[in-house]
Structure 1
Amino acid sequence: MNTNGRTKFVSTRACRAVAVKVVQPVRSVISVERHGGFLGLMPALTPDGLGLKAVTFYPPNAERGIPTHMATIFLVDPETGTPLAIMDGRLITEMRTAAVSAAATKLLASPEAKALAILGSGVQARSHVEALRLVRSFDKIRVWSPTREHAERLAREVGGTATSAEEAVRGADVIVTVTSSTTPVLKGAWLKPGCHVNAVGACRPDWRELDDAAISNVVFVDSREGALKESGDVILSGAKVYAELGEALAGKVPSRANETTVFKSLGMAVEDIAAAMLVYRTVKATL
């Protein structure tokens, strides 16, 4: 299956998952301060699946030449508790995160969006360009990264240009923040009125990617409970959460797509389990 095919394949379930009723406690996290990382445990019971994802995030790995995110997904038969599969979760995490951002972009961004700004240059930056191109036709892609060399490499890969953060954002219709920064990299003063922001990094309560002005717009989250516990962008700014993305996808609240919108993504276990069950059943059917 080619890259676009894999993205569509996983996004089919991941995007539907945010709008269904499930049982999923907020992620349990163990900080490994000595080595600058953490371990997160994310269980979920969906209408057709039960499982757990164990995910690690170690920003220093970027300097070691290994992935900053690693994950393993454990699937269980919800009827009997019988283990079904243990699978690598890194690729699923990359694709489902971008797929849900694409669902938010499809709902909240202008249908005429042409300019995309990417702040960050890692695997999530790549997967987001790929996924967002499935829902909008961009003719300009501008990339910024704290490491200029990385920004230039990604820009070459996606047919874009490497710029400063401000130059990347000004005039952009859709902005994606996918950095490991713990302090704001996106300023509200740079935002074009009516643009849409997918804020994907800053997954701890004392980390931020957006300043107060940026997060003061219409804020959607994947989970209210999760955002109020884990999102430094929301917690430290005191931002008001307008709605969960699933509520908007289900038509329970207006999308307010004509306003400047922010989707704060933390990732939910339901997305992982739904996507992993789809992979499991598809592979099993070929055996």
Structure 2
Amino acid sequence: MQLDVTESEVRQLLSMQELIPAMERALAAFSAGRVVQPTRLMLPVTDHEGFLGVMPAYTGSALGVKLVTLYPQNKDLPTHHAVVILFRPETGEPLLSMDGTYITEARTAAVSAVATHYLAREDASVLALIGAGVQARSHLEALRLVRHFREVRVWSPRSAPEFARRHGVTAAASAEEAVRGADVVVTATTSRTPVLRGEWLSPGTHINAVGAPRPDWRELDDELLRRACIYVDSSEAAMRESGDVIAAGHFFAELGEVIAGSKPGRQSRDEITLFKSLGLAVEDVTAAELVYKKVRGQAAGG
């Protein structure tokens, strides 16, 4: 498919500094009911252990859809590939298409940064990354914009040493070693069974869990779910798609409600907070709208 905006162009046009506040506004609008967005359709591609997701949204100013594939077994290719198409809301005319791979990567981390801003302790200074792929990289960039970390640890079964060398952080020998004493933890894995245990967590830890997007997959063990106050991006999606939230059987609030002030964020210094991120179409469409405005601006100026 010929794209109007390639992945490299999206990377040049979309900055994390502007994406984080855009995601904050999008989440608040979603929780307030100002966004038209059904729960994503996930089509299994069973023969190849993959999925095709269809994610449409209308924000009032932007109308679009993301088509995304998830192939967790990919080794030499990304596990996610995506395309975002925007339409003119007034007429339905296609405006442009763009590669959605970086949009998915960046907006996920930007949303975790919003969650970290509202839910992590203000003096959080140790970050643990479980997973060493593109999401670990984007989360490292995004979370450093909302908290000052004096130490960053990373663990994955294969790639942690290389990731640590590339980004100037510390490779841990195990997930437990990475997590013990951490103030903020990110789980960004393709694991279908728990990789993070509640017994490893210190009082006051905040967790951003961005893996395990299927109802029968888990990243978090029962002890963690019992100890944590759980926040989600979408209540409907969380109870349908997240194996962790389904196992917990409850959550406290949507992140958008916290942003709007209708629900509280962290309520004590020792509280363990968990943000379970599944990813929303409104995030993709909002990010794509930022790119489109820059493309349009360049065309007008050129």
Range class of TM-score, shorter chain: over 0.9
Aligned counterpart, 1:281:
293
Q: Quick one: which of 64, 78, 86 aligns to 1:75?
A: 86
User: SS at 1:113's partner residue?
Assistant: coil
Q: Aligned equivalents of 1:254 and 1:228: distance in 2?
A: 21
Q: Aligned equivalents of 1:230 and 1:52: distance in 2?
A: 19
Paired residues for 1:259-278 under 5 Å: 259-278=271-290
Q: Aligned equivalents of 1:134 and 1:10: distance in 2?
A: 11
Give the C-alpha shift of residue 9 in structure 1: 2.8
Letter of the 1:107 partner, please give it: Y
Letter of the 1:152 partner, please give it: P
Aligned counterpart, 1:181:
191
Q: Aligned equivalents of 1:5 and 1:161: distance in 2?
A: 28
Letter of the 1:10 partner, please give it: L
* TM-score normalised over the length of structure 1: 0.95
Aligned counterpart, 1:49:
62
Give the C-alpha shift of residue 5 in structure 1: 7.1
The 4+ residue runs of structure 1 with deviation greater than 3 A are: 1-5
Give the C-alpha shift of residue 36 in structure 1: 1.4
Q: Quick one: which of 109, 116, 123 aligns to 2:134?
A: 123
Runs of at least 5 residues in structure 2 that lack an aligned partner in the other structure? 1-8
Q: Aligned equivalents of 1:238 and 1:273: distance in 2?
A: 30
Equivalent pair of 2:66/2:84 in contact (CA under 8 Å): yes
Q: Aligned equivalents of 1:155 and 1:4: distance in 2?
A: 27
Aligned counterpart, 1:87:
98
Paired residues for 1:134-283 under 5 Å: 134-147=145-158, 150-163=159-172, 164-216=174-226, 217-235=228-246, 237-258=247-268, 259-283=271-295
Q: Aligned equivalents of 1:254 and 1:238: distance in 2?
A: 20
Q: Quick one: which of 27, 41, 57 aligns to 2:40?
A: 27
Aligned counterpart, 2:72:
59
Runs of at least 5 residues in structure 1 that lack an aligned partner in the other structure? none
Equivalent pair of 1:215/1:239 in contact (CA under 8 Å): no
Alignment of 1:10 onto 2:19: yes
**Number of residue pairs matched?**
282
Q: Aligned equivalents of 1:3 and 1:203: distance in 2?
A: 28
Give the C-alpha shift of residue 3 in structure 1: 7.8
Q: CA RMSD in A?
A: 1.5
Q: Aligned equivalents of 2:96 and 2:12: distance in 1?
A: 23
User: SS at 1:136's partner residue?
Assistant: coil
Q: Give aligned-pair identity as a percent.
A: 57
Q: Aligned equivalents of 2:273 and 2:56: distance in 1?
A: 29
Letter of the 1:18 partner, please give it: L
Q: Aligned equivalents of 1:98 and 1:165: distance in 2?
A: 20
Greater CA drift, 207-216 or 122-131? 207-216
Q: Aligned equivalents of 1:271 and 1:118: distance in 2?
A: 23
Letter of the 2:141 partner, please give it: E
Equivalent pair of 2:225/2:248 in contact (CA under 8 Å): no
Letter of the 1:177 partner, please give it: T
> Over residues 180-209 of structure 1, what are the superposed CA-to-partner deviations in whole Å (9 max), with x where a residue is unaligned?
000000000001111100000000000000
Give the C-alpha shift of residue 238 in structure 1: 3.1
> Over residues 62-109 of structure 1, what are the superposed CA-to-partner deviations in whole Å (9 max), with x where a residue is unaligned?
x2x111111000101111111111110011111100000000001110
Give the C-alpha shift of residue 175 in structure 1: 0.1
Q: Aligned equivalents of 2:128 and 2:267: distance in 1?
A: 18
